[in-house]
């Protein structure tokens, strides 16, 4: 699947009249961590930190102020883009505390790893935050 098709197939509900940026921000964060660590296994704290930094870098590009990683993370798990190892069932993906205490690690699956081979991915995703 090419990157255009992948992004077009993301379920990006409208937030205050504009496309929600959460899944694109999550993709940018995952890509950044993958490039830094050269590993498809990511620690929960690292992903949350990267998500918050990426959100702040681009927050002027969208209206929503809700920078919760929970629902895009759940969407990526449900679609098979990520796997999470947990020590207890997650009742509320919107709870950062619950994610930190229950998610042991996050594994990037092959679909995303194929996308991450594109050296221009970050630039493309930045361009697609609102489109």
How many other C-beta atoms lie within 10 A of the C-beta of residue 29? 24
Is 100 inside any structural domain?
yes
Residue 63 resides in a domain: yes
Residue 72: Cβ within 10 Å count: 23
The DSSP annotation for 53-110 comes to HHHHHHGGG-S------HHHHHHHHHTTSEEEEESS--S-TT-HHHHHHHEEEEEE-H
Domain harbouring 48, CATH code: 1.10.10.10
pLDDT in tens, the chain (131 residues): 789 899 988 877 765 566 789 999 999 999 999 999 999 999 999 999 999 999 999 998 888 888 999 999 999 999 999 999 999 999 999 999 999 999 999 999 999 999 999 889 999 999 998 78
pTM of the model: 0.92
């Amino acid at each position: 699947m090419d990157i255009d098709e992948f992004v077009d197939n993301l379920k990006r509900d409208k937030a205050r009249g504009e496309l929600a940026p959460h899944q694109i921000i999550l993709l940018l964060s995952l890509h950044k961590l993958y490039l830094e660590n050269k590993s498809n296994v990511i620690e929960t704290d690292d992903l949350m930190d990267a998500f918050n930094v990426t959100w702040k870098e681009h927050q002027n590009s969208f209206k929503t102020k809700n920078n919760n990683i929970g629902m895009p993370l759940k969407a990526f798990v449900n679609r098979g883009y990520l796997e999470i190892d947990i020590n207890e069932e997650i009742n509320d993906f919107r709870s950062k505390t619950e994610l930190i205490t229950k998610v042991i690690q996050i594994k990037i699956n092959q679909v995303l790893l194929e996308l991450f081979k594109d050296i221009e991915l970050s630039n493309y995703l930045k361009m697609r935050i609102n489109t």
